[in-house]
Amino acid sequence: MPKIDLESRFYNFCTKVNNSLTFQLFSLGLIVFVSIVIAMSVVPDDSFFSEYAYIIKLICSFYFLFEIIIRYFGHSVWDSRSIVGDKFSYVGIYIDAIVIVISFLPITFISNLLVLRLFRILSQPQITKYVPKIAITNFSVIVNTGIKIIYVFGIIIILTYVYAIIGIVLYGETLPPQWGNLGSAVLSLIAILLANDTITYFLYPLMEHHSLSWIYILSYVFIGKLTILNLIIAILIDLLNVKENQKV
């Protein structure tokens, strides 16, 4: 009777599941779902989500723990002795694992850090290989540029969502008109991002009650305006360079 290599079967199983489109979509859908639950739970008037949010997050965290194991062991080619693959590509998995592990702590603010997993959506999972490539040269340049810009806007949306939840938790009770719920917090952050003079409008009232609130506001401005918005300019410049190279 042939010897059964259970270790190889385990790695093959993890690789097969990790490459599954259903697994990818379900994991991303659950990340979006738990992020919505977290957003609803930090709203003071929503007692239902506040009461059951921890249980929902705990159940989702158990699945995320299973997901991270599958992704780790199915991420690259394995043999019975060593990992074959780029170790740097595991950095995202390690960060995900840290967020998932600390989410089990019975501290509301720390468990709410599961919302950071929203950035997983932008990590170009294996579902992108199902998107067909366009062969038309000029049109493909425009499409690729548009996709890059949409990708950057996706980063801004997720960044704003995460900061809005943090703002509700930290400042919702102090200044409810600006930070009392998800909608007002998102609008406040968008105003801060788009207009320079609005920074002082939101920052000074916060500093009257929270002396360290400048870290919250300025970190969002630095990441959002000075970094991400500049990426859009770089993408447009890259498009112009591609056009010039095609003319030559």
Q: What would the pLDDT profile of 52-70 be if each residue is shown by its tens digit?
A: 788 888 888 999 999 988 8
pLDDT confidence of residue 62: 92
Q: In whole angstroms, give the CA distance from residue 106 to residue 118.
A: 21
Question: What does the pLDDT average to over 32-52?
Answer: 74
pLDDT confidence of residue 63: 92
pTM for this predicted structure: 0.61
Lookup: tokens for 196: 């320079």
- The more confident residue out of 60 and 132 is 60
- The more confident residue out of 213 and 81 is 213
- The answer to whether the CB of 200 falls within 8 A of the CB of 235 is no
Instruction: Indicate if the pLDDT at residue 86 is higher than 80.
Output: no
Could you state, in order of their start, the residue ranges of all structural domains in the chain? 1-129, 132-248
Share of the chain above pLDDT 70, in %: 71
Instruction: Indicate if the pLDDT at residue 211 is higher than 60.
Output: yes
pLDDT confidence of residue 75: 65
* Overall fold of domain 1-129: Four Helix Bundle (Hemerythrin (Met), subunit A) (1.20.120)
Q: Does domain 132-248 have CATH number 1.10.287.70?
A: yes
Question: What does the pLDDT average to over 73-90?
Answer: 51
Instruction: Indicate if the pLDDT at residue 135 is higher than 60.
Output: no
Mean pLDDT taken over the chain: 75
Instruction: Indicate if the pLDDT at residue 132 is higher than 50.
Output: no
Question: What does the pLDDT average to over 112-133?
Answer: 63
Burial class (CB in 10 A: 0-12, 13-18, 19+), 163: buried
Question: What does the pLDDT average to over 148-172?
Answer: 85
Instruction: Give the confidence band of 140 by pLDDT, cuts at 50, 70, 90.
Output: low
Q: What is the per-residue DSSP string for 224-247? A: IIIIIHHHHHHHHHHHHHHHHHHH
C-alpha triplet 77, 29, 89: angle, nearest 5°: 30
Instruction: Indicate if the pLDDT at residue 74 is higher than 50.
Output: yes
- The more confident residue out of 126 and 61 is 61
Instruction: Indicate if the pLDDT at residue 142 is higher than 70.
Output: no
